[in-house]
Amino acid sequence: MSFESLHPGQTRSTMSNHDSYYAYQEGKAKWLKDNPGKTARDFEYAGTDVQDRYVDPEMQKRGYKKDRYIGAGAWEWVKA
């Protein structure tokens, strides 16, 4: 686990290097199971709203919560 400096004397934990990767892979696997005949590439082009429905629960299972919207459908996640 790493720590990100916010202000002098304040820190909050941030995700490890691979947590979001594995959450994305699990979410993609569940989407593929729910969408027979589709491919992993289809998931990549499905849009952030679809990806969020599958990846967000996986991130939450790993103990993270959305903290701050950083644009283009992306969120900063922090350890809950």
Residue 19 identity:
D
**Which residues have C-beta within 8 Å of that of residue 36, sequence separation ≥ 6?**
none
38-51 burial, b at 16+ Cβ within 10 Å, e below that, comes to: eeeeebeebeeeeb
Q: Per-residue pLDDT for the chain (80 aa), expressed as one digit of tens each?
A: 444 444 454 445 555 679 999 999 999 999 999 999 999 999 999 999 999 999 999 999 999 999 999 998 899 999 98
Q: Where are the domains of the chain?
A: 2-79
Q: CA dist 27 to 4, 11, 78, Å? A: 26, 29, 18
